[in-house]
A and B are shown apart, each in its own frame.
Chain A
């Protein structure tokens, strides 16, 4: 009895059961951080939309069939030659870079666990970081001047190839390393050689991921300007098929030179080129993602 009274007294002194209290400072900081976090995402989304909308609004009046049927002249015209040039350059560099890049990727993932592989991986990561204008300048002094190719398709394509190689190699390596070891062991167990395993088992299995990497590479090469300025040059005419000694037009060049002209028609053409190149690049990226997702859903990822 006495004990109960005592307990009640103690409890009443303590007041209501103590609640876990969050201090005002913590609440304030959390609220502030929430605002900053959401704000930073909204900032990025706003930047993306403002780029797209800005380009679209300015390009809208210039988007007509004339772009596809006429070649550029000094201040205006269409973009037929530039569109053709951009496609030739990216497909050409893809054609050169894909076999080399993919085999480098195979080497990195299958045999690249020793020191040589580590060094190769490291150097290819460093190569990714080389500024594209430096690549262009080296292309200029080696191919354009020293080899005497002048501004040409070949010089542009080779410069772009060097730029794409490390990207393709790393994406291929990543794609192959997602294939479990047991699949390879099954192949070896059936008596297949190294080459057969790579061509019949690994490459088909990793094909969607490798393809996505290639899509990204094409997108990257389409959007480049700096390495092409002093290797591919610029031409107002359609390409006649010479690999050397003939410059070629491309879309990104139109953007940065025509915007500096004082004519409204040139500005519109620059924005139209920007619209085409942005649409092309984003389309390729989305296509690559969609292809990857579809393939994973259909054949099932190896994971």
Chain B
């Protein structure tokens, strides 16, 4: 029998992809195993991250060497991550739909190409540049002008009133995240708007609807699954975003936001900012606890992505 060399080589290289995903999960789980055993499940919903007295002698608790007073609880990170991403998605969705309609149906084809560059290039800007922009432009603008104005205007709405803060915080992070994910949502949406059958549009137009009404009553309901799928996909991107959030979130520690202007921290940003101090822990438990955060973040994004791909697969996008 002839061995299909070429195809075997293809399969071997192609299997790098799933193997690397599996290895990621396995390495993280193995490395953080002591922390998982020590922290158990209340790790997720206690609100107490404390590396302990790093100058003391390690003590043994339940068979694990830790620094005296060390506690690991990440509820504030869970809240910060999920609330900022969901807020970003809620802000991004209407604008992305509007921009997708504008670029695919609203203007003539010859203008759509150059104008869509604005949106496409927005997706290409590195996240650390978004962070810099947020840090240098948005934070002063929001902190000095817009947040105080919002606090006085919306003083009757819960979560929108209270202290206006410094500009670093939940709403600024969500805003930057929203600008980052709009191009993703808009690009997929534009593609699927162009893929809907022209006959449907023509039927609507012949009933006397104008183009916006055709879009609202016929095309959008047809794209419901795509919308949900691409929304979840963007949510997954926002959950894992590191640099931009790190630079505008205010890096709160053990603090739950009381309104939308309050400082927060997210899991991804926390991992990036805390490894240096975790390395000071001679028992290594802090580094392992950070790795547990990475594992939690990885599992959340994998679940979110699987859900999104399922939706998009059902809607037969790509």
Contacts and interface: CB of A to CB of B under 8 A. Distances in A.
Interface in A190-245: 193-195, 198, 216, 219, 222-226, 229-230
A169 B17 CA distance: 9
12 contacts: A37-B212, A44-B183, A45-B118, A47-B122, A51-B130, A126-B309, A131-B301, A132-B242, A137-B271, A166-B17, A256-B132, A277-B128
A132 B10 CA distance: 26
A99 B72 CA distance: 42
Interface of B: 4-7, 9-11, 13-18, 20-21, 23-24, 27-28, 31, 94-99, 101-103, 106, 115, 118-122, 124-133, 135-137, 179, 182-183, 186, 208, 210, 212-213, 216, 233, 236-237, 239-243, 246-247, 268, 271-272, 275, 287, 290-291, 294, 297-298, 301-302, 304-306, 308-309
B212 A226 contact: no
B14 A120 contact: yes
Interface in A26-78: 26, 30, 33-34, 36-41, 43-45, 47-48, 50-51, 54-55, 58
Given A226-B243, A252-B128, A256-B131, A30 B17 contact: no
B125 A256 contact: no
A127 interface: yes
Nearest to B273: A229
A259 B208 contact: no
B14 A107 contact: yes
Contact of A104 (B13, B23, B128): B13
A120 B137 contact: no
Nearest to B18: A123
* Chain A interface main SS type: helix
Contacts of B115: 41, 45
A130 B240 contact: yes
A119 B18 contact: yes
Interface string A115-156: 000011011111111111111111011100000000000000
Q: Which 4 A-B pairs have the closest CB atoms?
A: A131-B240, A223-B126, A40-B98, A129-B305
A34 B121 contact: no
A229 B272 contact: yes
Contacts of A274: 128-129, 132
A125 B313 CA distance: 11
A51 B132 CA distance: 9
Given A44-B118, A133-B294, 14 more contacts: A37-B99, A47-B179, A54-B137, A104-B13, A126-B306, A129-B301, A130-B24, A134-B271, A162-B24, A194-B6, A256-B246, A274-B129, A278-B125, A281-B126
Nearest to A137: B294
Contacts of B243: 225-226, 252, 256
A109 B235 CA distance: 28
A256 B128 contact: yes
Contacts of B97: 40
Contacts of A89: none
Interface string A17-32: 0001000001000100
